[in-house]
Structure 1
Amino acid sequence: MEEKNELVEFSTEIDNDDYEDIKDVIHLLRGAQIVLDSDLARLYGVETGSLNRAMKRNKKRFPEEFCFQITKQEYDHLKCQFGISSEYEHGGRRTLPFVYTEQGIAMLSSVLRGETAVTVSIRIMKTFVVMRKYLARNALLMDKVNTIEHRQIESQIQNEQFRLETEKKFDKVFDYIESDKEDMQKVFFDGQIFDAFLLLADIVEEAQSSITLIDGYVDLQTLNILAKKKSGVDVAIYTLPGTKLTKQDITNFNAQYPALNAFKTTAFHDRFMIIDGNKGYHIGASIKDAGKKCFGINRLADVGLINSIIQKAQSTGKQV
């Protein structure tokens, strides 16, 4: 026969929206967060006996992981650790308390009647979530604190050695940073063809969106270096009208490494390569001759100058 569901009517409203009063009644027991029946009754505005009778009349809804009666030892532990009421020992009640887990409190909202029951249950369950996050954060924090304290003790014992070792580590870092700075100038002597090719290829590979090459004498060797670019990087070449580069060369290049456009201009004597519109290099020889004779590559630091070079090329170039 189906068990009758007896409901408890509420008359007391809880006006305090702050969760501090709820946080203080949540305890840890048997590996779970629980609330004593007496504390729940106070929050719901009912008698403790009425609360537990409603639970017992709907016992099938409250398995042990939802609600259970604590032992005398557990009661003493809670009283000692959290200062809970001693009403059991002083005749206020003749039985040991029942405690409700988060699932049990959620079930109570369907057993108890009234808007207050739902509101309080939601507030309590939200507080459970906050408490779980708090415990998780503080467990991690305590581990970190213990680690820091351990390191501090070690450093105090060997303070001078620690200081010297730290200074050495920082010196190594600063030395690395100093040596790793990009050279603003690079000179290649005759015969360093492969070294020159590698540097130019590295510059080309830096590009994320565009490469602008201004070089009066462009040929297939130039395209061989530009083929090192990333996929999706557009290339614009500005060269003299008498260049050896043909439309077929451009078509063949674009078939595998799109997209390249070539323009003719007589406005430039020197060679420049500009990466992504803001990083420029002045190159002392045509790329096709790099390394055959002594030449240099200089980094251009003035962004305004780089923009002027691009504007000059675009305003004077005519597409091949």
Structure 2
Amino acid sequence: MSQLKTTVPDEIVMNKIYKIRDQKVMLDRDLAVLYGVETKVLKQAVRRNRLRFPEDFMFEMSSEEFNDWRSQNVTSKNDKQGLRYKPFCFTEQGLTMLSCVLNSERAIHVNIQIIRIYTRIREMLIAHKDVFIRVEQVEKQLMNQDQKIEQLFNHLRQFIEKEHIPREEIGYKRKGK
């Protein structure tokens, strides 16, 4: 098989990976651009092969997710590629299955590149797992310290407020004074 002349930079692919429903996914419109097909062609191919795409391979965004995603990620009114309809979100397994459905040489090469990127991301997360755990521990400690500091300031505030209230003198009282 000949090598694809136009490769897509890894950074572009990585910027098209979103986290939706706590899963790393790529959207139909982005994949269509990478594969060199129209979004509706990609969606038609998926619909014709629906049995290949169970919920853990591909899902359609809910209306709420779609509105949130649009407000966070789309800035141009001219950028309408597939934005009138809720996009399909493909997990790593769904991307692999897409290579069976879209059988062009470009789609195969881009799919291989995407799967390699997903693998590198997973390897990086595994390699730095201990760092992530330590960061999480430090965050918890800081939250505890924040609570303790807040409590300390509350006590100081109460002490200062009580200082302004005149207090009755205590001690021995002499007659005549």
With normalisation by structure 2, the TM-score equals 0.64
Shift of residue 147, structure 1, vs aligned partner: 5.3
Do the aligned residues in 2 keep the contact of 1:14 with 1:43 (CA within 8 Å)?
no
Quick one: structure 1 residues 14 and 134, their matched pair in 2 at CA, closer, same or farther if it must change by over 3 Å?
farther
- Equivalent residue, structure 2, for 1:103: 93
Deviation sequence 1:227-251 (CA, Å, 0-9, x none):
xxxxxxxxxxxxxxxxxxxxxxxxx
Change (3 A) 1:67 1:130: same
Which residue among 4, 9, 25 is the counterpart of 1:18?
A: 9
Amino acid aligned to 2:69? L
1:54 aligns to 2:49 (yes or no): no
RMSD: 3.0
CA 78–60 in structure 1, closer or farther in 2 if over 3 Å, else same: same
Q: Is the 8 A contact 1:79 1:86 kept in 2?
A: no
Contact 2:59 2:89 in 1 (8 A): yes
Matched residues, number = 138
Which amino acid is 2:51 matched to? Answer: K
Cα distance, 1:33 vs structure 2: 1.3
Distance 1:134 1:47, change over 3 A: same
Give the letter aligned to residue 14 of structure 2: K
Q: Is 1:118 aligned to residue 108 of structure 2?
A: yes
Structure 1 length as normaliser, TM-score?
0.38
Matches for 1:305-320 after TM superposition, within 5 Å = none
Equivalent residues in 2 for 1:76-225 (5 A)? 76-81=67-72, 83-84=73-74, 93-137=83-127, 140-145=130-135
Deviation, 1:90, is 6.5
Matched residues in 1 for 2:99 and 2:124: separation?
25
Q: Distance in 2 between matches of 1:137 and 1:76?
A: 35
Following TM superposition, by how much is the alpha carbon of 1:118 offset from its aligned partner in structure 2, in angstroms? 1.1
**1:148 offset after TM fit, Å?**
6.5
> How far does residue 74 in structure 1 lie from its aligned partner after superposition?
1.4
Query: How does 1:236-275 map onto structure 2 within 5 Å?
Result: none
Cα distance in structure 2, aligned partners of 1:36 and 1:25: 8
Bigger-Rg structure (1/2): 1
The AA in structure 1 aligned to 2:85 is T
Q: Residue in 2 aligned with 1:75?
A: 66
Contact 2:25/2:90, CA 8 A, preserved across alignment: yes
User: CA 1:142–1:73 in structure 2 vs 1: closer, same or farther (change >3 Å)?
Assistant: same
**Post-superposition offset of 1:142:** 3.7
Structure 2: distance between partners of 1:44 and 1:71: 25
Conservation of the 8 A alpha-carbon contact between 1:14 and 1:116:
no
Identify the structure with the greater strand proportion.
Answer: 1
Ranked by relative contact order (alpha carbons within 8 Å, sequence separation 6 or more), the top structure is 2
Which has the larger share of helix?
A: 2
Question: Partners of 1:58 and 1:16 in 2: how far apart?
Answer: 27
Q: How far apart are the structure 1 equivalents of 2:35 and 2:122?
A: 23
1:34 aligned counterpart, secondary structure: strand
Name the SS of the counterpart of 2:66 in structure 1. helix
